[in-house]
Chains A and B, each alone.
Chain A
Amino acid sequence: MSGAAAGFFGLDSSVIGIMWKREMLRYMRDRSQIFGAISRTILWLVILGFGLGAALREIDGYTYAQYILPGVVTLNVLFSALQCAISLVWDREVGLLRSVIVSPAPMLSVTLGKLFGGATIATIQGAIPLLLIPFLDMRITLWAIPAALGIMFFMGVAITAFGIVIAARLKTFEGFGAISNGIIQPLYFLSGSIFPLRGVIGGVGFLDIPAHLRDELRQLGIFAIGGGWVVQLPVFIQVLVYINPVSYQLDLLRYVLLDFEQLPLTADLLVTFGLAPVLAVAAAASVRTMLVKRR
């Protein structure tokens, strides 16, 4: 350990605290971020949820809007956590971080402060869709909300850390578009957020399936939705969904909020609570490498 990365290791609670506070202050002064979370919630939950929900009668007994609620939470977490992480590029080249780097403060503590800041913002942003729960006709237990917030925080740590790993390798970036299209959307769409893991809706028809036929099909394990039925996803999509860690985090969130899970609960717990610390270590290592490799 020498030079640029010297004094990297070191836990200083006041440094973690002030860097966390900085992220929170930045968040509170940026109304566009809160606006984004609200507009995403309305777009997905209200317009798509109720719009598509008119065509899709149910997914395993849940309305479509209920089904995608945890997905919209996840989308907000993904957006805010990655946005917080990516600001590292700007901060490092022309922002405050340059003066942080030449200070005696341990950069590990600086990184942790940013990580917890990103996760806290992600939790707040992710909680916005939960405000619509009273309108979704959901029966929800009292412990579900704090449990969901906890999961969102761990998810926030994992995604912010993942974003820091990317940001530390970016020399420059010109816009958030690439990040959004290249990272957020695949992670979101391939997580079972908007269609069930079992499959997508097949058999497009404009005539509704009669109720007795629906019941008969259900007994056979085929779930009729609107005028169609659920079929298996293509194998490559299945593979992508199963290797996407967000699928497991989202599944745990859906289990907590809807009491409905599509993946083994053990895997959900393992990924959600195991991945965050692993990625946090990776983020710290990336920041260290970034400092050593600095021109």
Chain B
Amino acid sequence: MVAAIQADDVSYRYGQHLAVDNLSLSVENGEFFAILGPNGAGKTTFLNMLMTVTVPQAGRIAITGHDVVSETAAVRRALGVVFQDPALDDRLTARENLDIHAVLYALPKQDRRSAVDQALAWAELDEVQSRPVRTFSGGMKRRLELARALMHKPSVLLLDEPTIGLDPQGRRHLWERIASLRAEGMTVLMTTHNLIEAEACDRVGIIDSGKIVAIGTPAELIAAQGDAAKTLEDVFINLTGRQLFDDSATGRDRLLSFGRQGGEFTR
């Protein structure tokens, strides 16, 4: 049986900085996998390589057996992606955002409407489907994005910090949605900073300086530390150190803060 995600000796370097260092990882079908790591550990670069946005400089990645470089189209059809912050058009309604997705993934014309209807119902947003997304709360946007990512029936779901920035109710609700996918046998790979969520996953990989420093079920990881760790958080701190990981702001961060200040032409 082919692994859902198979990464072999993958590396990526920005100038002098080795973001991903000879990383290998295999995620089985139906597995619920969490990637943990401090800021700047290479999580985002690795995720970008999985979603075919960044090309690995060394090594090879296959999603459901399809190579990310030579079989990009098949990989993209097999993946459902939810980004860390909403990748929605704020001026369009929920329905219009989903309509675009249906066309981009080339759903058959006669099925598009029902696929959008189903997604809206699944996200519990059918009553507000004609409201512009800019009027939605963070939790509503995240639900809409998750529903959108599932519209083309992907076999692997990539979630980048899916519950970040949500209130406890929204977090709980979204987590239940994700858990229901797990029951249906969906392969899910998520990055997270929330160690309680990570403990609920089948397996956890802790990544630091572009390398996997520990991998296994949450119980195995805690056990491997002996008396030094009682929770996954202890494991995480023991492995990645206590120093703060300060990143400088990227162009994207600056654009976001500009937008938050009500910057012109950012909507």
Q: Is the CB of A90 within 8 A of B255?
A: yes
> Which of A19, A87, A93 lies in contact with B252, CB distance below 8 A?
A93
Interchain CA distance A5-B96 in the complex, whole Å: 26
Q: Does A185 contact B (CB under 8 A)?
A: no
Q: Is the CB of A295 within 8 A of B14?
A: yes
Q: Is the CB of A105 within 8 A of B69?
A: no
Q: Does B121 contact A (CB under 8 A)?
A: no
CB distance from B215 to the nearest CB of A (A): 26
Q: Is the CB of A83 within 8 A of B265?
A: yes
> Which of A6, A15, A295 lies in contact with B52, CB distance below 8 A?
A6
Q: Is the CB of A172 within 8 A of B254?
A: yes
Q: Does A182 contact B (CB under 8 A)?
A: no
> Which of A26, A101, A174 lies in contact with B258, CB distance below 8 A?
A174
Q: Chain A contacts of B265 at CB under 8 A?
A: 83, 86-87, 90, 175-176
Q: How many residues of A contact B (CB 8 A)?
A: 43
User: Within A1-38, which residues are at the interface with B (CB < 8 Å)?
Assistant: 2-4, 6-7, 12, 14-15, 17-19, 22, 25-26, 29-30
Q: Does B73 contact A (CB under 8 A)?
A: yes
Among B27-35, B76-84, B171-179, which stretch is in contact with chain A?
B76-84
> Which of B14, B48, B72, B132 lies in contact with A29, CB distance below 8 A?
B132
Q: Is the CB of B54 within 8 A of A103?
A: no
Q: Does A99 contact B (CB under 8 A)?
A: yes
Q: Is the CB of B54 within 8 A of A3?
A: yes
CB distance from A17 to the nearest CB of B (A): 8
User: Within A93-137, which residues are at the interface with B (CB < 8 Å)?
Assistant: 93-105
Q: Does A89 contact B (CB under 8 A)?
A: yes
Q: A255-295 interface mask toward B, CB cutoff 8 Å, 1 = contact, 0 = none? A: 00000000000000000000000000000000000010011
Q: Offer 11 A-B interface pairs, CB within 8 angstroms, sorted by A.
A: A2-B69, A6-B52, A15-B104, A93-B256, A95-B87, A99-B83, A102-B81, A103-B76, A104-B104, A175-B263, A295-B14
- Kindly list 18 other residue pairs between chains A and B, CB separation below 8 angstroms, not including A94-B256, A105-B104: A4-B53, A15-B104, A22-B100, A25-B92, A94-B87, A94-B252, A94-B259, A96-B100, A97-B87, A98-B87, A99-B87, A103-B76, A104-B76, A172-B254, A172-B258, A174-B254, A175-B263, A295-B14
